[in-house]
Structures are given as C-alpha cells and as structure tokens.
A and B are shown apart, each in its own frame.
Chain A
C-alpha cells in the first residue's frame, strides 16, 4: 500500500473539500497514530492487523491533505516509550516499518514529481541498523510539501539532542553560549493542530 493513496476524491468529497478550502486552512497538521490496538480489538483481528490498517488510513488521510492543499503534515508513528511494549509487538511494528520505508524507496520518483519532502525525526540509532539504512535512503529533500515522520521520537529527546548539538557548536567555537539561535530551532513551523483519535 502506497504512502499517499492514489485516486482522486469522489464528487461528494470534492464538494466538501471545496467548501472547506474556501475558509482558512491550517498550514501544518500533525497526526498522532493512536488507537490501532483498540481498533483491532473492536474488529476482532490481530494487533498487527490493527497497525497495518492504521497505516492504510494514514495513506488515505495524506491524500486528503494533498487535495486540501495542506502543505505540511507530521505523523507521530512510534515513540521511544513504545519500546516498552512486548517484543512481539515491537518486532511487528519494526517489520511494518521495513515494509513501508522500502515502499517509500520504490515511490521516490512519484514523490519527487509531487515535490514531497520526507523527513524522519527521532533518535534513529535506537532503531535496527537495516531500518536506519532504509530511512537514510528514503528521505527526500523537495520543497513543495513536507511529510515529517516521527519515529523513535519523544519531544524531550528531540529538545535534548538539539541542545547537545548547539553545545557541540559552542565547543567548536562556531556559536556563542548565549546565541539567539537557541530560542528558535528548526525549519518547520509548529503544527496548526494535532489530531488524535
């Protein structure tokens, strides 16, 4: 299953999209991928199936965002806290990640055509080496729209990593300790809103 589902909107969806687009639109939406296991329980399927279907719905959502002209989407896919889950579930999620990042590699031409920039944010050294290698190949640096995938992520680790890098800059004599850079990090604007089921 592709990251951004193919196909245009139905007539009703197009009608609703036109109404929504006529008003103010968020520039950046973040999705918290929560509820896959509850969904699996409700539908009496395995947890892994819940996670897989969660990804399918994400692909559909990304298509809606593209159609609505939302230029930046962030997806919180896997938290460092999620490593506390059972080995079976974590291995299953890593296998899903392998599949999906490999698929990203296959779709690179199509994504480049749409000008999609893919960034993967997180403490990547915590991940299996083969997944780190896939991610390194899968990231794209285009400029029309942005997809940030937070994988092995927590905000505290992100902030700490940023401060550590600045401290490295100070060590190397590249930055002053009281640099204004510290107050404004990163190139992405904050999300206009977060969606969590």
Chain B
C-alpha cells in the first residue's frame, strides 16, 4: 500500500476500528452490569416463579423454534454462559438444541459442559428438574430419562462438510459393490445418509455469537432455510438478550422461496 490512497485507507481503517472498539467496550460494560442479575433470571429468590415465567415466555411467542443452533465464533468459549443458554432454551420449551464452535472445544470437553448444564439446571430451574431433564444425544454415559423434553447435541466441524464427504464415500462404496447405481442418489437419499444430526430436525434458528460474519462450518447441509441471528458475544449473555433474539425470530416472515 503506498501513496495518497494508502494513507487515506489507513486513516479510514483506524477510525472504523476505534469506533468499533468504543462500541465493544460500552456493550461489555452493559453486559457486566447485567451479569449478576443474569443467573437469577427474572424472579429474584424464586426458581419456581422463574420456571413458570420462562414457560409462559415461550408460549407467548407467535412461533418458537423446534431446533436452535448455538454457534460460538469467539476464540474462548465460556462453559457457564453456554450452559445458561442451553438451560434457557429448555426452560422456554425448545425441543432440540445444538452447541457448536469451530475449534471443537465444546465437543472435546463435552463432560465439562454437561456438568455445567446440570449444575445450572438445578440452580435456575430448582431442585425438581425431572420435567426438564436434557438427554445428551452424543454422550455415552447418560441414558434415556423419563419425561425428557429437550435433546442436546454438541457439534464440531467434523459434523459438517466432513460428514457430507463421508456420506458420499459410503454411497460410492455401495455403488462399487453394485448395491446401488449412481442414479439412485438424490437430495433425499443424501440427506438420509448423513449421520451427524440423526433424529434432529434441521435448525429453524441459529444464534451466532461473536464478531465473525460466518457460521464457520456449522451444519452447511442443514441450514438452507435457517434464520440466523447474530449477537455480539455469548460472554455474560443475559436472558433478556436471549429472549429478544427469540422474539426477533418469532416476528420474522419466512417465505421459503415463495
């Protein structure tokens, strides 16, 4: 970069970065101020009241997503904040939740995330959490639970493009063994051959946290009709910010190409 054009670009770039920095600091200050209130939820001293309100909140929305993807694009994910988000999803009545970060940190530390979720379930929803128990779809040790109303999957990039490649290779293996012909393969068949989201519907909504304007490889096949809502950060996220995003989703018009 040289000359007047380069100088002008550098000046413009520095100005934009300064403005973004100021905005980020102001957002972090507001988020920190809400952090203490965040874990209590809406009703101080009453997990039972909180539970009722969360359910009522979910029912009050014109539409509630069936499957929400929580996608973190920040480099250092927070287990406590992600656990809050998962528990809030369960509390408002969302049936399927998936958690994703492009480094696969949550997936590698699945147990730690689960422990945090179980702890927050108890804290935010009270001791009687049998109605809200989450089934961990890709966890070996936790078995089926009665009255299970929510299912969680923890995903990483290997569940995205790599899963499509694996499905393609498996199909080609069947063709090589003459169990299938190439013309058998259509969109529905390839959809059935994918394994990363067995039993889960496609995400209706992705809440994307962080500054990166990309879903960074989250289930590229499955998000063709997904509404994507960006939030600045999952760190110190409040229930109000989360619910505001759900409200935004409820209000959006989806024409499905029509």
Contacts and interface: CB of A to CB of B under 8 A. Distances in A.
Interface of A: 18-23, 79-82, 84-85, 154-157, 159-160, 163-168, 170-171, 175, 177-179, 182-183, 193
B92 interface: no
A157 B187 contact: yes
Contact of A177 (B1, B176, B185, B220): B176
Contacts of A175: 172
Given A156-B224, A160-B190, A163-B168, A171 B257 contact: no
Given A81-B256, A84-B256, A163-B185, A19 B175 contact: no
Q: How large is the interface on B (under 10, 10 to 19, 20 to 34, 35 or more residues)?
A: 35 or more
B1 A160 contact: no
A156 B187 contact: yes
A19 B5 contact: yes
B146 interface: no
Q: Which 4 A-B pairs have the closest CB atoms?
A: A81-B257, A167-B182, A22-B9, A177-B172
B8 A22 contact: yes
B186 interface: yes
B6 interface: yes
B175 A177 contact: yes
B205 interface: no
B102 to A, nearest CB: 15
23 contacts: A18-B8, A19-B5, A79-B257, A82-B257, A84-B258, A85-B258, A156-B190, A159-B221, A160-B185, A160-B189, A165-B182, A167-B171, A167-B172, A167-B180, A167-B182, A167-B185, A170-B175, A171-B181, A171-B182, A177-B173, A179-B169, A182-B168, A183-B162
A154 B224 contact: yes
A163 B5 contact: no
A170 B177 CA distance: 10
